[in-house]
Amino acid sequence: MSNILPIIRYTVRENIRHKIFYVLVIFAFAMIGADLLFGVLAGDEQVRLLLDMGLVAIEIFGLLVAIFVSVSLILEEIEAKTIYLLLSRPLKRTDYILGRYFGMILTVSIGVLVMVLVHLGFLYAIGWQSETAYFYSIFGILLKIILISTVALFFSLFSTSAVTSIVFTIFFWILGYLGTELKFLSSKIGNIFIKAILKFFFYIIPNFQYLNFRDRYENLSYSILVPVGYTLVYSTVCIILCAMLFSKKEF
Amino acid sequence: MNAIEIRNLTKIYIKKRLLKNKKFLAVDNLSFEVSKGEIFGFLGPNGSGKTTTIKMLLGLLFPTAGESLIFGEKVPSLSIASKIGYLPEIPYLYKYLTEKEILSLYGLISGIPRSVLSDRIEEVLTAVKLKTEKDMRLGEFSKGMLQRIGVAQAILHKPELLILDEPFTGLDPIGLKDMREVILKLKAEGKTVFFSSHIISEAEKICSRVAIIDKGRLLRVVKIAEIKPNSLEDIFVDEVSRAESATA
């Protein structure tokens, strides 16, 4: 277990120094900047527009950074063969996976935090009054990032191609917003085979609807226990599967 | 107790194809031992199964059949891994980290206590003549410097056994001499050195014994003291040619 910490540390260092990370964060800044421009055009609705568009930008870029970083997390190490010098040491493969995973979550969280600070800066500058719901929304985004990262990591261990893993993850990401629709469809369809497939997807995809705090911005009367519990259980199961896949992997 | 014992080690790679999987026999029923404290050369042409064997010793690949033991313990094993220093053919290192950061990472994972880690890093960096560059990112290093870092990470945790994969490949004459000196110094300290190579002359200069393999099969184990000086290359060529003609 003591080996997890050094792995987390180098993962964060490596990712933060990686050009891709900067590019995506800069894109996010540009997006927030554009929101500001739209906000000015919107007149009275400036605060609302900047708030909503900024949250969307943080979520999309946060998730994109998470997907790209997670997919390349292990694949890049295998391709560059840097993994040889780690796994030939007294390092449990499970510790390696956990260290890489938590390091990645920490890196992406740092990225999100930077975006949030910039966003808040803009919001306060135009006279926004602080709302608890904003921070709930950010928390929801972080939970989504945790979920999608675990899914991306899982797919990256299945395939040897980063593109395939990204495509599968984005497919799950989109389906993650359509959980209720899938359930509704499965109840309406008569064909038992299609019904079973829809049900199967409903249960295995990460259900982002639990975490869409942003959609319930005006109504804070809900518990965060279920979404947090759901994220923990889903990502734990996923990480266990990742560890199982990784333990059999050859390099 | 031997440092390394390889017993009937076999590795078949399976390349997955859409219709029919393709099999490739990389290591074929390989058996030999490496004694404690000796320098043992593992010689063979390109693609003869040297790196595959080394990867199985390190637990990076799993054998299809057979087993290997290091200091009497079956590999892969975490306790054994801490006694091994490994230098890959090309030092695969993180280009975004500095040499101090990368050595700290490897040192901590190898179980070196934090309290002595900094001093130990200074020691190995002095040994590989890289002390001044410790805050430079590895992406800015030359090939020779990376090779030195490779050596530094392999000896960092004072391992009893060093497994070096093609340590002489791509080195200039000064690099070759330095590498030879490093290996001889390790032997003088009582370490066991097992290295793969196809540079026969270097192996003859420093090894006590060598194993010659081709197509994953052991052809012969040669004691350097029992052969005429400078004759290892001829023995190697003879053995490999005989094996090639027998399978042709």
Beta-bridge partner residues of B34: B4
**Would you state the pLDDT for residue A100?**
94
Q: Are B85 and B160 in contact (CB under 8 A)?
A: no
Q: Phi, psi at residue B167, to the nearest 5°?
A: -70, -15
Q: Between A10, A80, A88, which is nearest B105 by CB? A: A10
Write out the two tokens for A4.
């997890």
Say yes or no for a CB contact (<8 Å) between B81 and A90: yes
**Would you state the pLDDT for residue A23?**
67
Q: Between B61, B84, B105, which is nearest A250 by CB? A: B61
Instruction: Report the residue count for chain B.
Output: 248
Beta-bridge partner residues of B27: B11
Q: Are A15 and A104 in contact (CB under 8 A)?
A: yes
Kindly list the residues from chain B whose CB atom is less than 8 angstroms away from the CB atom of residue A85: 86, 88, 92-93, 106, 153
Q: Between B96, B106, B109, which is nearest A17 by CB? A: B96
What A222-230 contacts at long range (C-beta under 8 Å, 24+ apart), as own/partner pairs, is A224/A136, A224/A139, A227/A140, A227/A143, A228/A143
**Using CA atoms in the order A165, A167, A169, A171, what is the torsion angle rounded to 10 degrees?**
-150
Which chain A residue shows the shortest CA-CA distance from B101? Answer: A10
In the predicted structure, residue B86 carries a pLDDT above the cut 70: yes
Which chain B residue shows the shortest CA-CA distance from A9? Answer: B105
Kindly list the residues from chain B whose CB atom is less than 8 angstroms away from the CB atom of residue A19: none
User: How does B149-178 read in b/e, with b if 16+ C-beta sit within 10 Å?
Assistant: bbbbbbbbbebbbbbbbbbbeebeeebbeb
Say yes or no for a CB contact (<8 Å) between B93 and A90: no
pTM score of the predicted model: 0.88
Domain boundaries, chain B: 4-83+160-247, 95-157
Say yes or no for a CB contact (<8 Å) between A89 and B82: yes
ipTM of the complex model: 0.89
Write out pLDDT tens, residues B153-200.
999 999 999 999 999 887 888 888 888 998 999 999 999 999 999 889
Write out pLDDT tens, residues A128-177.
888 888 888 899 899 999 999 999 999 998 887 888 889 989 888 888 88
**Ordered alpha helix ranges (H), chain A:** 4-17, 19-42, 46-79, 83-87, 93-125, 132-158, 162-176, 179-188, 192-204, 225-247
Whether A246 contacts chain B with CB within 8 A: no
Given 1.20.140.10, 3.40.50.2300, 1.20.58.100, 3.40.50.300, which CATH number is that of B4-83+160-247?
3.40.50.300
User: How does A145-177 read in b/e, with b if 16+ C-beta sit within 10 Å?
Assistant: bbbbbbbbbbbbbeeeebeebbebbeebbebbe
